[in-house]
Amino acid sequence: MSTTPTTGWLPASFVHPTHVEVGLGHHLRPIRAEDVDLDMVAVMGSRERLWSIYGDAWGWPPASMTHEQDREDLARHAAEMVTHESFNYALLDTDETALLGCVYIDPPEKPGADAEISWWVVDECVGTDVEAALDALVPRWIAADWPLEQPRYVGRDLSWAEWAALPDLSR
């Protein structure tokens, strides 16, 4: 896949992965606007828990999110991946009939890291082998396939509250 990066947080030569096997019949791939029907079910079905994770930091997911707002958000994520501004990977089953979570790889907003990475699974996958496989995969995948030296796993290395308390990077 050819990319045209416009930001400086990753090398211009970097080509982001487009398919990553998670195991147990699941994989990651870049999210697309066309995933909106699957995404709405996943996000709104797990909204309360997702809000407890991302609400204070991102204001997401809003309780009143519409199908069109979600589609626009997914289109923005897809466009940001093309320019390497940030990355959103969907966790999907083999046939891509269910979206079961997402992985976010973002440029740092706080000092001490060269990327900020977080992920989630739908409520039905919490505590399952699928969640354990994703938890094991993400740090290994980042170390093997991404040009990062100090990734920060927000919600894992430190809590979202600890992350929010860090000073913002001056840009």
- Strand 26-30, strand 87-93: pairing: antiparallel
pLDDT tens-digit profile, the chain (171 residues):
334 444 579 999 999 999 999 999 999 999 999 999 999 999 999 999 999 999 999 999 999 999 999 999 999 999 999 999 999 999 999 999 999 999 999 999 999 999 999 999 999 999 999 999 999 999 999 999 999 999 999 999 999 999 999 999 975
What whole-number distance in Å separates Cα of residue 71 and Cα of residue 139?
Answer: 28
Residue position matching structure tokens 């699974």: 121
pTM (2 d.p.): 0.94
Domains of the chain, first to last: 21-164 (3.40.630.30)
